[in-house]
Amino acid sequence: MAKGLFSQGICALTNGQTTIDDVKAAVSAGGFEVVKDMPPQALSGPAVLVAYRREVNGAVVIDLMDRRWPDEMGDSKTDPMTFGAWAMGFFGPFAYPGGLKRAIQHARSWKGAAEIAPRHRGVIRMRTTYIGGLPKDAPCLPKDYKPIDELVFLNRMVVAIAAAPGVLCYFNPGGEVIRDLESFHSTLDACTKEHKLPLFLWTNVRRFGLSDAFGMIDTVGNSQFDRRDVEAIYPIKQYDPNRVGYYVRNVTHYLLDLTREIQTGEAIDGPDENALSWIAEACDKGLTSPPRRVLRLYPKADSARIQNALMAAGLS
């Protein structure tokens, strides 16, 4: 779901024993201002409103879900309440069915994800919003909206909430990233010291095989920054997948600094290259789930072979 009622949403998975008093104590100790308590809503327990950019009506809603993350996101016939909540963006923008499963499958930075994450019995949701109390025709986002600032603020909130009893791990549904608390802290600390954006905590990088000759590495989560995700298709014999993974991160940084969108047919540098030997395609749909706009990149020299490989795999 796109940004609307909520502009960002990240979570902490818990053992189901964390209370709203635990959450309030943790965020208060972390230096955040709890503005008010909120009553339980559909699919969630009690909640609190935390101050964030009051000058533009901003706030963070923190609530407890006394259940597992609904990874199927309900069904219009068998579970219409969950499905309706998902359709309205209540699980955060860009949260899609199967997101937690995919996050676990591609959790290369946390080998224990497949063991620990399924144990969760509760969820703490942290979602930014700007429309509480505004007229129905008011814009959902302020004119000076900055998604990176939101995510930086939410990272600080995760650090605070991680101290609450019962918190198991961090989960970013929009980027399909899951991390244990130790690696969340160490990654955040390292990026802070080096003055780098902690993209590793916000977006995932995944590996796929398209054929015997070609592989693909893509990103998930750039929509949080209002940018396209990146798909890099490469000849397996010519490129190290680790280099290509580093490359798609660098392309994301490049897109963040760019004030326009790259168009289909534009030439671009490839991994560790500066000869504009790759070509870009701006696609409305990626090759894999979740659904999202992508910038597809591949070597010009292999263009025809890559198109044939995609056709053979039923992906073109």
Q: Which string of DSSP letters, residue by residue, matches 177-195?
A: EEEEHHHHHHHHHHHHHTT
The residue whose two tokens read 């327990």 is 45
Q: Which residue has the higher pLDDT, 83 or 316?
A: 83
Output the CA–CA distances (angstroms, integers) from residue 214 to 10, 47, 283, in the order listed. Answer: 34, 48, 19
Vertex 198, ends 192 and 204: CA angle to 5°? 160
Output the average pLDDT for the chain: 94
Q: Is 1 a member of any domain? A: no
At position 107, the amino acid (one-letter code) is A
Determine the pLDDT at residue 139: 78
Closest CA to 43 of 7, 12, 79: 79
Determine the pLDDT at residue 275: 84
Query: How confident is the model over 35-59, as a mean pLDDT?
Result: 90
Pairing of strands 294-299, 278-283: antiparallel
Question: How many residues make up the chain in this entry?
Answer: 316
Query: How confident is the model over 288-303, as a mean pLDDT?
Result: 96
Per-residue model confidence as pLDDT tens digits over 2-42:
898 999 999 999 999 999 999 999 999 999 999 999 988 76
Q: How far apart are CA 313 and CA 159, in angstroms?
A: 43
* Residue 226, phi-psi category: left (phi > 0), alpha (psi -120 to 50), beta (remainder): left
pLDDT band at residue 214 under the 50/70/90 scheme: very high
Q: Is 198 a member of any domain? A: no
Tell me: pLDDT of 80 over 90.
yes
Determine the pLDDT at residue 140: 86
DSSP string of 162-178, one letter each residue:
TTSTTEEEEEETTTTEE
Q: Is 129 a member of any domain? A: yes
Determine the pLDDT at residue 2: 84
Q: Can you give the residue range of the structural domain that contains 243?
A: 203-312
CB-neighbour burial class of residue 250 (10 A; exposed 0-12, middle 13-18, buried 19+) = middle
Q: Is 262 a member of any domain? A: yes
Query: How confident is the model over 243-257, as a mean pLDDT?
Result: 97
pLDDT above 90: percentage of residues in the chain: 88
> Do residues 62 and 115 share a domain?
yes
Query: How confident is the model over 274-301, as a mean pLDDT?
Result: 95
> Do residues 215 and 178 share a domain?
no
Tell me: pLDDT of 246 over 80.
yes
Chain-centre distance of CA 176, in angstroms? 5
Q: Is 2 a member of any domain? A: no
Query: How confident is the model over 275-279, as a mean pLDDT?
Result: 92
Determine the pLDDT at residue 42: 67
> Do residues 147 and 40 share a domain?
yes
Q: Which of 148, 172, 193 is the last residue of a domain?
A: 193
Determine the pLDDT at residue 252: 98
Closest CA to 295 of 216, 219, 224, 230: 230
Nearby residues of 103 by Cβ (< 8 Å), 6 or more positions away: 113, 117, 171, 172, 176, 177, 178, 204
Query: How confident is the model over 44-58, as a mean pLDDT?
Result: 93
Q: Is 221 a member of any domain? A: yes
> Do residues 187 and 239 share a domain?
no
Q: Which of 162, 193, 224 is the last residue of a domain?
A: 193
> Do residues 162 and 27 share a domain?
yes
> Do residues 273 and 136 share a domain?
no
Tell me: pLDDT of 92 over 90.
yes
Least confidently predicted of 85-89, 205-209, 260-264: 85-89
Q: How far apart are CA 288 and CA 115, in angstroms?
A: 25
> Do residues 207 and 187 share a domain?
no
pLDDT band at residue 43 under the 50/70/90 scheme: confident
Query: How confident is the model over 182-209, as a mean pLDDT?
Result: 97
> Do residues 148 and 249 share a domain?
no
φ/ψ (deg, to 5) at 234: -145, 150
Domains identified in the chain, total number:
2
Q: Which of 164, 193, 222 is the last residue of a domain?
A: 193
> Do residues 177 and 64 share a domain?
yes
Output the CA–CA distances (angstroms, integers) from residue 211 to 2, 10, 215, 237, 307, in the order listed. Answer: 33, 35, 7, 12, 12
Q: Is 3 a member of any domain? A: no
Per-residue model confidence as pLDDT tens digits over 93-149:
999 999 999 999 999 999 999 999 999 999 999 999 998 766 666 778 999 999 999
> Do residues 182 and 208 share a domain?
no
Q: Is 47 a member of any domain? A: yes
